[in-house]
Each structure stands twice: as C-alpha cells, then as structure tokens.
Structure 1
C-alpha cells in the first residue's frame, strides 16, 4: 500500500475518461488542449496526480510502435513527472492494452486493477471501475479475451496501420465513449460500482472509493465516513476530483 502525506497547501488531483482520439483525432484535439491546460494549472499545487483510465480511446503497444498522436498530453505528463510530482495511471477498458510505455518512457507506474492508498491517514480504493460488481457478464467475458496473452500476441502480428485502425473503429463503435447509454443515474441498487463498494466494505473499511468509467459525476455516501466517488468524464462534464486536508470535492473545469 502506498502512503501519501500532502504538504501544506498541496492537493491530490484525480481525472478520468478523456477518450482522446474519439471519435477522431481532429475532433478530440480541443479536448486534448483543454486537458493539457488543466494539467498545466494543477502542477502548481499538486502533491500527486491520479489518472483513472481511458485517457485514450484506443491504445495498443507494439514492441517498437505506439499509436500516433497525443504528443501534447504525453509531453505535459513527462514534464510534470520530471518536475518531481508523482503520477499514477490506471488502465481503463479502452486503453487496457497498455504495457510498459508509460513506465519506461515517462516513469509513470501503470496499474491494471484497483489499488489501495493511504492519503493523509485516509484509506482509498482507487481504480478505473470496468468489470467490477455484479452482472455485466458479457463485458467480463470480453475482457478476459482481450487480456488473454495469446490473443494480444496474435493482434500484434497485424501491421500497425491495420491494427490501430481496426482498434479505433471498434472503440468508437462502443457507445460508452459518449456516455449515451451509461450517463444516467440508475439508483444505488442498480449501480454496479456502488454494489462493488458496499461488498468491499464488508471486508474492510475505506474512507473513499474513487473510480471512473461511468462518465457520470457521482458522490454517494455508503456509510458513515465512507464515500463512493465517480469522476465523470472529459467529454461532456470536464470534471475532476481534488483531495486536500479539508476533504474530497468534485469540480468542473471550464
């Protein structure tokens, strides 16, 4: 478990679901610029930054090739990390084929499952959020296929011009990128991540559960001193989380 203590006037920032590259590189370029501006602003008082997945709408790492584009956001992340600010990256369902590029090129650790952190003495469980909780068995089966090493090995034999274009096409066809099918609150009993968090609370206590994936900003009190937070997205909401000594808040960026 990683423990973080913030210095005076320093903050922990959280963001998720930028889906850069969707529906096209050109269409997402203003979102990339906006996200880079946000990163440039928060570096002034950031103790650490958590990126909770789907930064890219599609990502696949060949042995010597990564998808073209995104140099502004990659450069800004490199600048921030080189300045000494820790960045933690969690893969989402759209960039789950991330391997070691962030770790070797940017020195940013990459996580493929939820992780526990202690921040200023508060316990956090942090992750992207896909495939957690009950139901959604179709996606869980699909994820097992996509994370199956022999399948990734076979996909890697496609020429990058074919493989990346095919991956981008399949990703854009996924309605979750726009939140059209997933951006309405379903009630606590039907929110799978809420059910997942409640089950985790039967195993141990967490002060904060922080996830993305839902494309919907949410703050739900699960029990006393335990809150589930969903960060929303950078497609329609442009929301992000901030944790400081006074507590956790969701904010919008304009």
Structure 2
C-alpha cells in the first residue's frame, strides 16, 4: 500500500502561554497518532515553535511530548523534514542528532509519484514586506546568531519570550482572504510557474488554509495553522488536499 505524505505548519508551540500551548501540543500528538499508520513522509513546514534558539549546550525546555512522538515516528522509518520558519529559524542540528529530522533552511523541490512540489515556509517571499525581509537577513546572519548565543540563556530566552508574547500567534486572530491577486504567496507561485512547472506549491506562514488553482495543472495550497484551524495537507499519491483535525 502506498503511504500518504502529510504537511503541517505553524503550531506556534509556546504561545500564548504554557497552558494553551500544552493543550495544542496534546492535540498535535493525537493527530500524529492518527496519521502514523498511513504516513510515509511528514513535512513540518515552519513555525513549529513560537521561538526556538539552540545554544551550544542549552535548548528551550518543554515540548517533550511532541519531540518524543516525532522520535518514535522517525525510529519506525517515517522520514521527517523540518523547515525553518520565521519563528524557529535558529534551529541547528539538535533535532537531526536527537530525532533524525532533516532540516530545510529555504525551499525544497521534490517529486513524488510523478508530481512536482515546491515547498517553503513562505516567509520573505513575494512582493512587499521589505521590513521583515531586511530583518530576516539579520536574524539569519551567522555572526548575529553567534552574538545572540553569547547572551546567557536566562536573558536571551526572556527577551525572546517577551517578543513572542506580542507576536501574531499570541493574538490568535483569524486571517481573511484578500483576493487572489493580493495573496502574495500566490503571486510568488505564479512567478515561479512562469519559469518552471510545479504541480503543487505548498506553503505555511500565511495562517489561512487556502487552495488556489494557478493553472489547469498547478495548484497553490497554504496549509494554515493550529491555533484556529488544525489544518494540514495530505497527498495520497494522486491529489494533495487540505484536511482538518478535530475541527
């Protein structure tokens, strides 16, 4: 039997507080238990954590149920990919060493069962948002990361948690569709499609589950988030569709 491929993004674990994050983590683990029997590959497409920074000997505490479940799935032979999002772009090699996940920094181009996929968290793509694109270059700069790593974890994590408390995820506001011509990731996908064919463009980051036909043979899908929608993508070997868990 051909196994399914699953895509999920924007868990934002840690936000807005420990109690709500734990409820969300438990729900995500239930979802992983649900998909495990039919899962061949799992793509976690960014912002799994609302903040993550790996010091040389220190990582953020918590999230052990998710990590344990992912380790179990990886040990059973399921290939897991972890995309760096704009909230957890400072992931390094901890998850590769401890769980066996493959870390993806930017886009990943794959082909499965004759279908071509363009995969990316979605941050920094498309028109506009120049302020974030500038900050992204700073945040991803190795020297800047090294300097932040010199800050003691108690202070560094305090700064990060304060920033996280004012993030978009903390507000839990639901996004609204602004029109195909104004959906910047759809615009970006159309630009890429003019250069090379892909059957599916799959993104997170936008926080709104979306399916937009770009052409007769190409589709843009945003897999949404787990603060409001519990949405994910599933590819059964023929078609990629949005699905919802406990929604």
TM-score (norm 1): 0.94
Return structure 1 stretches of 4+ with deviation > 3 angstroms.
176-179
Counterpart-to-counterpart distance in 2, 1:174 and 1:34: 22
Cα distance in 1 between the residues matched to 2:6 and 2:164 = 27
**1:83 partnered with 2:76:** yes
The two structures, once aligned, show a CA RMSD in angstroms of 1.2
Deviation at 1:129, TM superposition (A): 0.3
Identify which range, 168-177 or 128-137, moves more after superposition.
168-177
Q: Distance in 2 between matches of 1:232 and 1:178?
A: 16
**Farther off after superposition, 147-156 or 119-128:** 147-156
Q: Following TM superposition, by how much is the alpha carbon of 1:177 offset from its aligned partner in structure 2, in angstroms?
A: 4.9
Counterpart position of 2:180 = 188
Structure 1 unaligned residues grouped into runs of 5+: 1-7
Give the structure 1 partner of residue 119 of structure 2: 126
CA contact (8 A) 2:113 2:238 kept: no
Cα distance in 2 between the residues matched to 1:178 and 1:77: 28
Deviations 1:74-108 (A, max 9, x none): 00000000000101110110000111111111111
Residue 133 of structure 1 aligns to a residue whose secondary structure is: coil
Deviation of the 1:153 alpha carbon: 1.1
What are the within-5 Å matches in structure 2 for residues 188-227 of structure 1?
188-227=180-219
CA positional deviation for 1:148 = 1.2
Q: Which of 130, 138, 144 is matched with 1:137 structurally?
A: 130
Aligned residues: 246
The residue number in structure 2 matching 1:241 is 233
Give the Cα separation in 1 of the matches to 2:145 and 2:2. 44
* Alpha-carbon distance, 1:176 to partner: 4.8
Instruction: Note if 1:45 corresponds to 2:54.
Output: no
Tell me the distance in 1 between the aligned counterparts of 2:85 and 2:128: 18
Deviations 1:4-41 (A, max 9, x none): xxxx2421111100000001122211000000011111
In the TM superposition, residue 189 of structure 1 has moved relative to its aligned partner by 1.4
SS at match of 2:165: helix
Q: Is the 8 A contact 1:179 1:215 kept in 2?
A: no
